[in-house]
Chains A and B, each alone.
Chain A
Amino acid sequence: MFNYAFRRLLSTIPVLWIAITACFFVLRLAPGGPFDGERPLPEAIKQNLAAHYNLDKSLFEQYIIYLGNLLQGDLGPSFINQDFTVAEQLLVGLPYTLIIGGMAFFLSIVLGITAGILGSVYRNGIPDYLIGTVILIGLVLPNFLVAPILQLFFGLKLEWLPVGGWGGGALSHIVLPVVVLALPHIARISRLTRGAMIEVMHSNFIRTARSKGLGGGSIVWRHALKPTLTPVVSYLGPAASYLLTGSLVVETIFGLPGIGRYFINAALNRDYGMVLGTVVFYMILIVVLNLIVDILYAWLDPRVRSR
């Protein structure tokens, strides 16, 4: 298993290199630079800035410098937040993103699987329709709409929760962003669970279990749940990477200092170092998460293990 994981990690190095190279050069194709804006700078000052950040060297030289620094673990400076390096910004933002994303991930799994099981057990009954409706709403409404609605309702109308901000990590501040972030994933997980559970309940081994006289609860929990989770787990990899890399919309609307906003803002600001830094960071995160999912998969499904 370790051997397998190690090989998987090793194989990501060329992928990472290709992604960085492509990203490095494609970024420079975009017109406009980090110091262009409403207020144009005199030529002399532009030259001073370019010299300061090595932007006056040839593109290839800059690329070599960047790779050299990267190998030493240095992600370089940020043009837009000059008091923090790229690595510092990512490290400062990471705890917030991990807390919000981690809680949303946990919430999605618990609520999603529970709702899915209820839906399949009471298939075509009132609970199923109720859950189905709520799920549909969660899937259809985009988070940039749900977030302000929840802010208005719980923050301004009922005054139960603060409208935004981190608030020192108090639960009351975290509830709304976590719910908004989790909602579409709760919906997808519950639909996956429901579909898989219905299918599993029709399979031969469940019929055998029934014929041996086992009760409904025991069948669902002891026999049907594990095979049901296989498709769900394959969805968890992408879901986790999505949640843990943060969400631009949720972070922007709730004013949270996570790292989701950096990716988009850095690209808009032509903050070259920051864009590359987030790409490297996301890639590593996604690779690791996929690896974890693969390992879980093997645990859940004996057929995968024997292969």
Chain B
Amino acid sequence: MKPYSLRNLLSAGMLALMGGLASAATINIHNGGDPTSLDPHKLSGDWENRIAGDIFEGLVTEDTKAEPIPGQASEWTVSDDGLVYTFTLRDDAVWSDGTPVTANDFVFAFQRLMNPETAAVYAYLQYSIKNAEAINTGEISDLAELGVKALDDKTLEITLERPTPYFIGALTHYTAYPLPEHLLEKVGDDWVKIENIVTNGPYTPVDWVPGSHVTTVKHEGYYAAEDVKIDGAKFFVLEDESAALKRYRAGEFDILTEFPTDQYAWMEENLPGQAQVAPYAGLYYYVVNHNKPPFDNADVRKALSMSINREVIGPQILGTGELPAYSWVPPGMANYDEPYMVDWKDMPYGEKLAEATSLLAAAGYDADNPLKLQLRYNTNENHKRIAVAIAAMWKPLGIDVELYNTETKVHYDELQRGVLDVARAGWLADYNDADNFLNLLKSTVEHNYGRYNNPEYDALVDKANATVDTAERAELLHQAEKLALDESAAIPIYYYLARNVVSPRVKGYENNAFDIHRTRWLELVD
């Protein structure tokens, strides 16, 4: 790596000291943490996606509803067996230095993504591409074996390992962005330094002060630049949500991408219509250790699940009205219809309690011989509130709960090693497909923390993923979901909500299930 140059640092510092390039049409977005990098292959968080998705664009991009629409590719065809996709790139797609975007830039990017030396965190998201997994795990060392080929400068062919109905959706993801090969060849890993970087999205980054902000300005060569109304964006780093809300109220931010849940009622009264709470493709759940008696007993797990009064968690404990989860797949996922709901969903809570009590009694536990369990969660005010409430709901059944919280890193480290009775986990969809959630319960998956292991379940999910017909595939996935829920494989609690605050100045903002709001669709009015 090139030693840092003092002059660059000084100029970055000077820029910061002189203040941002504030102008009337710059939008100020509160974005939580610092991005790990501007290199799309190094990212893994939603706050990073907000910046990356503004400055880069894949073959396919998101509209205001986060639905896939043509991006750098103007059109594509799919072979009858669903395995070969042929994309035609736009003639006017260019990098911010004026160089045309070519099919080779995509080939180069996908090969780099899968190259083990890149150590891309999220490479597995594109494992549906032919030979991708084998290259990423080192089984194949020739990068050219990857199923991504440039037929000519503007035609790209991608071959898949198996038919993947969500593949087009997955191409909106930052792992599928092209990279400026001409720049990487010249400066190597330093291409991503703010003074070098070129991008192909509607915006391009011009300033980054770690711990403060990333500034982007409009990319005038972008093919749809005429329709891009905001001249630039400033993404602010600020972990403290209460402080962020105060700065929003003072007009220093136009969009908050998170707010303190206990302020929701206050905002509804004082800033009506500005706090946006919308269903988010994600599930908050508890895992139960299938390898540890008595939790290997499906009746015990069912009792634990049934006795949770989910209806009060969203409205009363969190205060933002999260919907209770009785299914494993959140509603509204593509190619899936309605998810399967547990059969006791509509039972009155009194009856649920009674049945749970008798199930637990049958397993040998009651008030005199309580079931002792440890409930783990990662340190966080909301996780704690929910855990305390659930412990109280379990108490009358004769369950003695020990609450145990650790910082996030320790929590997940222990979960992966299987150190748990019952523990909190959560999942946000990477792409719009039910498989994303059902995959969590497969016996071969690292993040099946409870180690639910049912060969029949694995077979159903695998079979579904080898099926081309979407209706047939959905049917198989439904069967898998029913199987897992009937055995209480894990305990779904609520479906996530995206929480944003949007100033009345901002137009064109639409809530969607992936909480993706690209700046190119927004407008600022006064």
Distance between Cα atoms of A148 and B240 in the complex (Å):
11
Is there an interface contact between B250 and A81, defined as CB atoms closer than 8 Å? no
A52: which B residues are within 8 A, CB to CB?
Answer: 117-119
Option from A31, A81, A169, A254 in Cβ contact (under 8 Å) with B17: A169
Q: Answer yes or no: B377 CB below 8 A from chain A CBs.
A: no
The residue on A at minimum CB distance from B414 is A31
Interface residue tally on A, bucketed by range: 35 or more
B193: which A residues are within 8 A, CB to CB?
Answer: 83
| Chain B proximity mask over A132-162: 1 for CB below 8 Å, otherwise 0 | 0000000000000001100110011001001
Q: Answer yes or no: A164 CB below 8 A from chain B CBs.
A: yes
Instruction: Select the stretch in B120-128, B178-186, B452-460, B478-486 that faces chain A.
Output: B120-128
Distance between Cα atoms of A238 and B416 in the complex (Å):
43
Distance between Cα atoms of A166 and B416 in the complex (Å):
41
Is there an interface contact between A45 and B120, defined as CB atoms closer than 8 Å? yes
A218 CB to nearest chain B CB (Å): 44
Is there an interface contact between A32 and B413, defined as CB atoms closer than 8 Å? yes
Distance between Cα atoms of A165 and B253 in the complex (Å):
11
Is there an interface contact between B211 and A258, defined as CB atoms closer than 8 Å? yes
Is there an interface contact between A165 and B124, defined as CB atoms closer than 8 Å? no
Supposing A92-B209, A254-B243 touch, asked if A37 and B412 sit within 8 A by C-beta, the answer is yes
A45: which B residues are within 8 A, CB to CB?
Answer: 119-121, 123-124, 136
Is there an interface contact between B17 and A162, defined as CB atoms closer than 8 Å? no
Distance between Cα atoms of A253 and B120 in the complex (Å):
32
Is there an interface contact between B20 and A168, defined as CB atoms closer than 8 Å? yes
Interface residue tally on B, bucketed by range: 35 or more
Q: Answer yes or no: A268 CB below 8 A from chain B CBs.
A: yes
Supposing A253-B243, A257-B211, A261-B211 touch, asked if A85 and B4 sit within 8 A by C-beta, the answer is yes
Is there an interface contact between A164 and B246, defined as CB atoms closer than 8 Å? yes
B408 CB to nearest chain A CB (Å): 6
B408: which A residues are within 8 A, CB to CB?
Answer: 32, 37-38
B407 CB to nearest chain A CB (Å): 6
Residues of B405-423 contacting chain A, CB below 8 A: 407-410, 412-414, 416
Instruction: Select the stretch in B30-38, B311-319, B340-348 that faces chain A.
Output: B30-38
Is there an interface contact between B210 and A84, defined as CB atoms closer than 8 Å? yes
Is there an interface contact between B39 and A268, defined as CB atoms closer than 8 Å? no
Q: Answer yes or no: A163 CB below 8 A from chain B CBs.
A: yes
Q: Answer yes or no: A51 CB below 8 A from chain B CBs.
A: yes
Q: Answer yes or no: B97 CB below 8 A from chain A CBs.
A: no
Is there an interface contact between B250 and A162, defined as CB atoms closer than 8 Å? yes
The residue on A at minimum CB distance from B124 is A42
Distance between Cα atoms of A152 and B117 in the complex (Å):
49
Q: Answer yes or no: A19 CB below 8 A from chain B CBs.
A: no
B17: which A residues are within 8 A, CB to CB?
Answer: 95, 168-169
Is there an interface contact between A156 and B249, defined as CB atoms closer than 8 Å? yes
Is there an interface contact between B409 and A155, defined as CB atoms closer than 8 Å? no
Q: Answer yes or no: B239 CB below 8 A from chain A CBs.
A: yes
Instruction: Select the stretch in B8-16, B82-90, B145-153, B285-293 that faces chain A.
Output: B8-16
Q: Answer yes or no: A252 CB below 8 A from chain B CBs.
A: yes
Is there an interface contact between A156 and B250, defined as CB atoms closer than 8 Å? yes
Supposing A38-B426, A40-B416, A268-B409 touch, asked if A162 and B252 sit within 8 A by C-beta, the answer is yes
Distance between Cα atoms of A97 and B102 in the complex (Å):
45
Q: Answer yes or no: A87 CB below 8 A from chain B CBs.
A: yes
Q: Answer yes or no: B267 CB below 8 A from chain A CBs.
A: no
Q: Answer yes or no: B219 CB below 8 A from chain A CBs.
A: no
Q: Answer yes or no: A44 CB below 8 A from chain B CBs.
A: yes
| Chain A proximity mask over B444-463: 1 for CB below 8 Å, otherwise 0 | 00110000000000000000
Is there an interface contact between A151 and B409, defined as CB atoms closer than 8 Å? no
Is there an interface contact between B239 and A164, defined as CB atoms closer than 8 Å? no
Distance between Cα atoms of A151 and B248 in the complex (Å):
12
A271 CB to nearest chain B CB (Å): 10
Distance between Cα atoms of A163 and B247 in the complex (Å):
5
Option from A51, A253, A257 in Cβ contact (under 8 Å) with B210: A257
Q: Answer yes or no: B42 CB below 8 A from chain A CBs.
A: yes
A44 CB to nearest chain B CB (Å): 4
Distance between Cα atoms of A35 and B124 in the complex (Å):
15
Option from A30, A92, A251 in Cβ contact (under 8 Å) with B9: A92
B240: which A residues are within 8 A, CB to CB?
Answer: 252-253, 255
Is there an interface contact between B212 and A82, defined as CB atoms closer than 8 Å? no
Supposing A32-B412, A45-B121, A148-B242 touch, asked if A255 and B237 sit within 8 A by C-beta, the answer is yes
Supposing A82-B42, A95-B17, A152-B246 touch, asked if A36 and B209 sit within 8 A by C-beta, the answer is no
Q: Answer yes or no: A23 CB below 8 A from chain B CBs.
A: no
Q: Answer yes or no: B141 CB below 8 A from chain A CBs.
A: no
The residue on B at minimum CB distance from A35 is B121
B12 CB to nearest chain A CB (Å): 6
Q: Answer yes or no: B192 CB below 8 A from chain A CBs.
A: yes
Is there an interface contact between A82 and B36, defined as CB atoms closer than 8 Å? yes
Q: Answer yes or no: B238 CB below 8 A from chain A CBs.
A: yes
Distance between Cα atoms of A92 and B16 in the complex (Å):
10
Q: Answer yes or no: A91 CB below 8 A from chain B CBs.
A: yes
Q: Answer yes or no: B116 CB below 8 A from chain A CBs.
A: yes
Residues of A161-180 contacting chain B, CB below 8 A: 162-170
The residue on A at minimum CB distance from B238 is A255
Supposing A32-B413, A148-B246 touch, asked if A92 and B210 sit within 8 A by C-beta, the answer is yes
Option from B44, B194, B208, B239 in Cβ contact (under 8 Å) with A252: B239
Interface residues of A (CB under 8 A from B): 30-33, 35-45, 47-49, 51-53, 77, 80-85, 87-89, 91-93, 95, 147-148, 151-152, 155-156, 159, 162-170, 251-258, 261-262, 268-270
27 contacts between A and B (CB under 8 A): A37-B412, A41-B446, A45-B123, A47-B116, A48-B116, A48-B120, A52-B119, A80-B36, A81-B210, A82-B39, A82-B42, A85-B4, A87-B4, A89-B210, A92-B209, A93-B210, A163-B250, A165-B236, A166-B16, A168-B16, A170-B19, A251-B211, A252-B238, A254-B243, A255-B212, A256-B211, A257-B16
- Can you add 20 more A-B contacts, CB < 8 Å, to A45-B136, A83-B194, A166-B212? A30-B409, A31-B413, A32-B410, A44-B137, A81-B37, A88-B4, A93-B210, A147-B243, A148-B243, A148-B246, A152-B246, A155-B250, A163-B243, A168-B18, A252-B239, A253-B240, A256-B211, A257-B16, A257-B212, A258-B211
Task: Give the 4 A-B CB pairs with smallest separation, nearest first.
Answer: A168-B19, A32-B409, A257-B211, A257-B212
